[in-house]
């Protein structure tokens, strides 16, 4: 005879409410904005913020930056909440997180890794890219191509994506420090992404930071979701290109960009 599974009634752990926990010195927090919202108080800060973004019509896909909703003080709490949820995931995967020494702190490690590392670009504001004027008589008018190493992860499987972006611009009226191109690219990459979207995101943010209208972004990456699972292809390489302004319309600019990429690849093959 089959043993019947009788579910236990779920005992809801008493969770402190936000209003008591979050005695924030900040004047207007997301929680203040929540006040008077039908009197409903969610048990998790993550739910609070999720509902708030929904009400605001704010998109919060894996590749979207939501830093305006996630303050540093919130982040600590969100990490604790995610750790609790990861404990449940490990339990459901039947991994003994009580006795396996390697799995003991895994839930918290995963939560911290998501917020502070692999998806940091969702929660952190854009890197500060101070612009310098490039408007004197002997201004730089040439092409600039920066090679940026990228680490990302695919939204579909949360598998690592690693590669390089080549960012080309024709200098406009302002310039940013060379390292800022890479900081911006990495900020775009450290989210759940699709490579096609990532190349677009980098182009958009570089245009924003530099005022340049002539921008090219070429991304070359290998995807864990093709290497570690699925087709298990170890050498599959995906290339995406986004061209704006002269990079798109002017054949010689386009050629110069790809010639530069070739030179860079000879210099530092990935």
Site string for Zn ion, 206-225 (x = CB under 5 A): -------------------x
State the pairing for strand pair 192-193/160-170.
unpaired
Site string for Zn ion, 155-184 (x = CB under 5 A): -xx---------------------------
| Shortest CB 151 distance to Zn ion, Å | 15
| Shortest CB 131 distance to Zn ion, Å | 36
| Shortest CB 70 distance to Zn ion, Å | 25
Tokens in use for 75? 């982040």
Applying CB under 5 A, the site for Zn ion has a residue count of: 4
How crowded is residue 158: how many other Cβ atoms within 10 Å of its Cβ?
A: 14
Exposed/middle/buried for residue 57 (C-beta within 10 Å: 0-12, 13-18, 19+): exposed
| Shortest CB 110 distance to Zn ion, Å | 18
Window 57-116: residues binding Zn ion (CB under 5 A)? none
CA dihedral 139, 141, 142, 148 (to 10 degrees): 80
Task: Please give the angle made by the CA atoms of 57, 63 and 69, to the nearest 5 degrees.
Answer: 50
| Shortest CB 108 distance to Zn ion, Å | 25
CA-to-CA separations, 6 to 1, 10, 12, 90, in angstroms, rounded: 15, 12, 18, 22
φ, ψ (nearest 5 deg) of residue 255: -65, -40
Strands (E), 120-256: 131-133, 143-154, 160-170, 174-176, 192-193, 215-223, 238-244
Window 125-154: residues binding Zn ion (CB under 5 A)? 154
| Shortest CB 228 distance to Zn ion, Å | 10
Interacting residue ranges for Zn ion, rule: CB under 5 A:
154, 156-157, 225
């Amino acid at each position: 005879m089959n043993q019947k599974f009788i579910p236990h009634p779920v005992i809801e752990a008493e969770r402190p409410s936000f209003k008591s926990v979050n005695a924030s010195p900040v004047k207007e927090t997301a929680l203040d904005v929540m006040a008077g919202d039908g009197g409903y108080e969610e048990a998790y800060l993550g739910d609070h913020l999720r509902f708030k973004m929904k009400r605001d019509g704010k998109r919060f896909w894996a590749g979207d930056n939501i830093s305006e909703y996630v303050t540093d003080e919130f982040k600590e709490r969100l990490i604790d909440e995610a750790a609790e949820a990861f404990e449940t995931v490990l339990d459901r995967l039947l991994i003994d997180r009580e006795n396996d020494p390697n799995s003991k702190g895994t839930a918290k490690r995963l939560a911290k890794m998501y917020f502070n590392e692999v998806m940091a670009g969702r929660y952190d504001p854009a890197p500060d890219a101070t612009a310098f004027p490039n408007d004197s008589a002997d201004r730089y008018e040439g092409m600039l191509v920066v090679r940026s190493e990228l680490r990302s992860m695919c939204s579909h499987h949360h598998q690592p994506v690693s590669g390089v972006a080549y960012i080309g611009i024709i200098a406009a009226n302002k310039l940013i420090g060379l390292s800022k191109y890479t900081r911006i690219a990495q900020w775009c990459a450290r989210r759940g992404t699709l490579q096609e979207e990532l190349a677009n995101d980098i182009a958009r943010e570089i245009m924003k930071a530099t005022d340049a209208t002539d921008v090219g972004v070429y991304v070359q990456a290998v995807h864990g979701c093709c290497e570690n699972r699925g087709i298990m292809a170890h050498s599959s390489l995906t290339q995406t290109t986004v061209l704006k302004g002269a990079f798109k319309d002017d054949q010689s600019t386009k050629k110069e960009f790809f010639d530069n990429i070739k030179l860079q690849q000879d210099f530092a093959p990935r």
